[in-house]
């Protein structure tokens, strides 16, 4: 089986040089039979949009979403250039790290612009302690998606321990999708992985994508551990193929 990873980062802790970081990731993707992976550019990493753009052209298995701050007065301009000239294929937003709420007017405006560019928007939706203290609220994610009906959203990490709330909201929002990165393995030993598989099943294994959140673990370690969890809760081979490959390939029209 071939695979696609919808949620990875470059390892800036281990590799000061972006080309070295990308080379390590690309080789791990090759070794684990991954056809493609989406690298999520982050403004907090010391690598420019231009440097990330070169990674996209230099490494055949790497695609990328650009991280733009919604309150930047030039946000729409930066996003448009990234998509039309710098080879990015989506927008990455991180409410906790970038310190905004998903339903703020500037966020809605930028996400509507992403819709006009026909690109998806991935939002971090993992409520760690910091996020909770910042006012993490599933309804803010829903309000954003509802305000941008022509924009496709990926709620990353399936909302963590709020997965059932996020699932119920997604059932009313056809433009919302999930990736299961990080949460599926972070919460092992609790009821959350079972709840995540329940949510996948309730959504007929549609609109849900595999992600590793590399470099949290190696590409192969995350894949093997995730398959173990899916097997534990009775996910069959056809359903796994959709999660691990088919759904995201169709979503991106690759």
d(CA 5, CA 210): 6
Mean pLDDT of 61-72: 98
Q: Which alpha helices (DSSP H) does 68-213 contain, by range?
A: 75-84, 95-98, 105-116, 129-133, 138-147, 163-170, 183-186, 192-202
d(CA 65, CA 36): 13
Residue written as token pair 């996209």: 56
Mean pLDDT of the chain: 98
What confidence tier does 69 reach under pLDDT thresholds 50, 70, 90?
very high
What confidence tier does 151 reach under pLDDT thresholds 50, 70, 90?
very high
Burial of 249 from C-beta contacts in 10 A (0-12 / 13-18 / 19+): middle
Using alpha carbons, list the distances in angstroms from residue 71 to 88, 136, 196. Answer: 20, 19, 33
Query: Please, what's the b/e burial string for 72-110 (b: 16 or more CB within 10 A of its CB; e: otherwise)?
Result: eeebbebbeebbeebbbbbbbbbbbebebebbbeebbeb
Q: How many helices (H) and strands (E) does the chain have?
A: 13, 8
- pLDDT for 53 equals 98
Residue 40, CB-side half-sphere exposure with 13 Å CA sphere: 25
The string of pLDDT tens digits covering residues 162-194 is 999 999 999 999 999 999 999 999 999 999 999
CATH number of 3-252: 3.20.20.140
The string of pLDDT tens digits covering residues 13-50 is 999 999 999 999 999 999 999 999 999 999 999 999 99
Domain boundaries, the chain: 3-252
What confidence tier does 123 reach under pLDDT thresholds 50, 70, 90?
very high
């Amino acid at each position: 089986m071939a695979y696609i990873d919808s949620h990875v980062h470059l390892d800036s802790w281990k590799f000061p040089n972006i080309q070295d970081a990308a080379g390590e990731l690309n080789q791990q993707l090759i070794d684990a039979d991954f056809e493609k992976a989406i690298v999520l550019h982050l403004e907090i990493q010391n690598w420019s949009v231009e440097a990330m753009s070169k990674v996209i052209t230099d490494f055949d298995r790497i695609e990328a979403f650009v991280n733009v701050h919604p309150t930047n007065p030039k946000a729409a301009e930066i996003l448009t250039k990234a998509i039309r000239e710098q080879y990015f294929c989506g927008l990455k937003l991180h409410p906790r790290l970038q310190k905004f709420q998903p339903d703020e007017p500037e966020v809605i405006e930028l996400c509507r612009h992403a819709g006009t560019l026909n690109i998806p928007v991935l939002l971090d939706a993992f409520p760690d302690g910091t996020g909770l203290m910042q006012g993490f609220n599933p309804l803010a994610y829903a309000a954003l998606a509802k305000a941008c009906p022509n924009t496709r959203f990926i709620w990353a990490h399936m909302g963590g321990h709020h997965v059932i709330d996020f699932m119920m909201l997604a059932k009313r929002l056809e433009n919302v999708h999930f990736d299961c990165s990080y949460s599926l393995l972070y919460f092992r030993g609790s009821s959350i992985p079972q709840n995540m598989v329940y949510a996948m099943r309730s959504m007929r294994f549609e609109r849900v994508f595999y992600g590793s959140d590399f470099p949290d673990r190696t590409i192969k370690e995350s894949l093997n551990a995730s398959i173990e969890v899916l097997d534990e809760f009775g996910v069959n081979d056809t359903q796994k193929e959709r999660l691990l490959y088919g759904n995201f390939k169709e979503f991106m029209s690759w």
